[in-house]
Structure 1
Amino acid sequence: MELDDALTRIRSGPQGPTVGAFFDFDGTIVHGFSGVPFFRHFVRAGRLTAREVAATMMSGIRGGKTEADFARFIDLALAGWRGYTEAELDAIGSRLFEKRIAGHLYPEAWQLIRAHERAGHTLAIASSATRFQIEPTARAIGIQRVLCTQLEVEDGVLTGRVTDRPMWRSGKAMAVKDYAAESGLDLASSYAYSNGGEDVGFLALVGTPTAVNPDRVLSGAAAENNWPILRFKPRGNTGPIRAARTVGFFAGFAGGVAAAAAGGVKTRDHIRTRDKILANTGDYPLKLAGIDVSISGAHNAVEPRPAVFIFNHQSELDMFVLAKVLRGGFTGISKKEVATNPVFGPLFRYMGATFIDRQNTEKAKAALLPVVETLKGGLSIVISPEGTRSLTPTLGPFKKGAFHIAIQAGVPLIPIVIRNAGEMLWRNGTALRSGTVDVAVLDPIDVTGWDPDDLNENVDTVRQLFVDTLANWPAK
């Protein structure tokens, strides 16, 4: 089954909160095993002995065929958790999510989750992992209900043991069945997704089961039961090909800037040089990294100008994608930390960028005042209303700065929706993936008549345009 078919199936199927959508976690929502970053943390912190490390690794290598085998494995794996408070593990889980686990989120799973959300389905994660592994991701992707293995706590401190049977195999199936009964869910109309053979019973509970990147056991069960199979692209570690693409990307960036600068020395035309740098920045690095850009509504990037172009921010790639789309005639607004970057700082200053202190609202407002004059002088501005890059494809809340700028300058707002730059390079990533970044440049928005003292409804409406576009991508 293709992802588009799965999304269509959700849209055309039963709607409403009595329909459940249950997702396994490791291997289904995120690539790999979320316990690994925790295991590494506890090893580095000296919370696991050499004997415990060896025993846990051997148990994992041998695998578990029975629930007793899995119970022994989880007892070994949780040894390093002993002695931590819940607050400490919450903090560790949030930090590991930001640094590691968020980069392993399957974009395809995120799309399925959003489709179920739009259908009004009741979303839940059902996993043998702990809440400390799951909850940061669940919050980021908008899933409120987590069914997971519960850990024993005494006097506010974890003992390293589970409170009941782990949420594995029949334990997971029973927990899902109980939750469905408590919540009034119709399992016959519900959906479930998993990658592991231990979840055959879990998948069999619902009317619409789907195997995701299935292992050998689940592949056999899917074939036997005529269950559809979805294949997600791996989100694993950097390999030599990705490393080479990344080197090519930075070489293309340096070469493109150098070529434009050399031409500028001859012509002494600052505006032409600036625009050539932007055009080259959008062409050379992406091409050498194997990244294409597919643009819908390209005519809106050409006119009207000047304008305030607003975009959703997922990746360091966004600035290069914007250069590819807009070509020239614009500058940007960036966080003040970029000003001290030895590579991007001088370049951004040459391009006329404005640097703002996101931690100081008054200073940020003052820094934005000259931007209005920049627009009145004919140069467009690009700015992200989110203010920072998202860890997941989920759209963050919008700030009002871009809207005030457009009103004061008397220019239109033009939304640029970037669908998947984070798939090529997520927020904390260092190595690029090849692929196609989809961009939709929406129609200009006339801000004439907007009240700068009462913008909440306008901001919410514009943000919803981004949400709707991401949900229903326009034809090119």
Structure 2
Amino acid sequence: MFRTVIWIIYFIFRILFLTPRLIKVKSLHSQNRIEEKDKLVYSTARSWGRDLVKQSGSKVKVVGEENIPKDKSVLFVSNHQSNLDIPILLGFIDRPKAFVAKAELSKFPLLSTWMEFLNCIFIDRGNARESLRAIKAGIKLLKEGYSLVIFPEGTRSKDGKLMEFKPGSLKLATKSGAPIVPVTIKGANEIMPSGKLAIRPANVELIISKPIYMDEDIAKDSNALTETVRNVINENLNRD
């Protein structure tokens, strides 16, 4: 419990400490200095993610980072095990990226502002119209050269095992043409299990698989594509 309290205090004070940098980000945005703004936001997010993982006492091993296509936007498709999945992906995959995140995160002061500047898309899963809006926004971002992360299970796994993907979860790739990069997170459920606030150290493995391009035959069948991506993640998750 002591580690959890320290982590929460660090989380709050780190967000507050970054306020002057957030002001600079807003200034760059207002001046339309988008490239400078994006670099500052990404470097801040990457450092923030790594520091939050470090404060949990956990260690992350990255496998397969060379599989990420260079110089093009991609759709990272990841399993979802823990509240720390976003910091893990931000901190340990060296590629600017935004997230399709649940609408509840938009209610957190300062954090939600950083996520907006990171180009994150908030989605209300119970609102079909909002879901469609989010898909269109994601397609636009991918076509503009920004990479995205989605958690197609829709929520965190309670036992670390891979759940079924939500129908249509890979439309962002099929409609934008961006390659899919399957990502497997192993061990993060030990840091902060679903339904619990306690934080404990864990050894996490982040496995980045080879990309699937939308001009491949498999991409012509959305059901087969979904099953293929899910199988890649599941095989990595169950491999010793």
TM tier, smaller? 0.7 to 0.9
Higher relative contact order (CA closer than 8 Å, sequence separation 6+): 2
Structure number with larger C-alpha Rg: 1
SS of the residue aligned with 2:235? helix
Q: Percent identity?
A: 25
Aligned partner of 1:319 in structure 2 is 86
Give yes or no for the alignment of 1:445 onto 2:212. Answer: yes
**How many residue pairs align between the two structures?**
234
The 2-side partners of 1:369 and 1:464 are apart by: 26
The 1-side partners of 2:222 and 2:139 are apart by: 18
The amino acid across from 1:320 in the alignment is P
Within-5 A mapping of 1:157-306? 238=1, 240-252=2-14, 254-255=16-17, 257-258=18-19, 260-261=21-22, 264=25, 269-301=36-68, 303=70, 305-306=72-73
Q: Give per-residue Cα distances to partners, 1:49-70, cap 9 Å, x unaligned.
A: xxxxxxxxxxxxxxxxxxxxxx
Shift of 1:348: 1.7
TM-score by length of 2: 0.85
Asked if the contact 2:106/2:122 (under 8 Å) is kept, the reply is yes
Give yes or no for the alignment of 1:309 onto 2:76. Answer: yes
Cα 1:298/1:454, change in 2 over 3 Å: closer
Give yes or no for the alignment of 1:420 onto 2:187. Answer: yes
378-387 or 453-462, which moves further after superposition?
A: 453-462
Within-5 A mapping of 1:108-119? none
Aligned partner of 2:111 in structure 1 is 344
Cα 1:260/1:328, change in 2 over 3 Å: farther
Cα 1:249/1:287, change in 2 over 3 Å: farther
Asked if the contact 1:301/1:325 (under 8 Å) is kept, the reply is no
Asked if the contact 2:3/2:56 (under 8 Å) is kept, the reply is no
Shift of 1:355: 1.4
The amino acid across from 1:455 in the alignment is S
The 2-side partners of 1:288 and 1:302 are apart by: 31
Shift of 1:328: 4.3
The 1-side partners of 2:209 and 2:220 are apart by: 25
The amino acid across from 2:89 in the alignment is L
Shift of 1:338: 1.8
Asked if the contact 2:50/2:92 (under 8 Å) is kept, the reply is no
Give yes or no for the alignment of 1:436 onto 2:206. Answer: no
Shift of 1:261: 3.4
Asked if the contact 1:249/1:288 (under 8 Å) is kept, the reply is no
Cα 1:260/1:438, change in 2 over 3 Å: farther
SS of the residue aligned with 1:381? strand
Cα 1:285/1:302, change in 2 over 3 Å: farther
Provide the alpha-carbon RMSD of the alignment: 2.6
Q: Give per-residue Cα distances to partners, 1:129-159, cap 9 Å, x unaligned.
A: xxxxxxxxxxxxxxxxxxxxxxxxxxxxxxx
SS of the residue aligned with 2:44? helix
Shift of 1:386: 0.5
Cα 1:266/1:335, change in 2 over 3 Å: closer
Structure 1 gap ranges (5+):
1-237
Shift of 1:254: 4.9
Aligned partner of 1:458 in structure 2 is 225
Asked if the contact 1:253/1:285 (under 8 Å) is kept, the reply is no
The amino acid across from 2:50 in the alignment is D
Q: Give per-residue Cα distances to partners, 1:234-263, cap 9 Å, x unaligned.
A: xxxx3x3443344345545554x4475376
Q: Give per-residue Cα distances to partners, 1:309-342, cap 9 Å, x unaligned.
A: 0110111100000001224421111122222223
The amino acid across from 2:6 in the alignment is A
The 2-side partners of 1:262 and 1:244 are apart by: 26
Shift of 1:447: 2.1
Shift of 1:300: 2.6
The 2-side partners of 1:300 and 1:362 are apart by: 35
Cα 1:246/1:341, change in 2 over 3 Å: closer
Give yes or no for the alignment of 1:372 onto 2:139. Answer: yes
Asked if the contact 1:310/1:414 (under 8 Å) is kept, the reply is yes
TM-score by length of 1: 0.45
The 2-side partners of 1:259 and 1:283 are apart by: 20
Structure 2 gap ranges (5+):
none
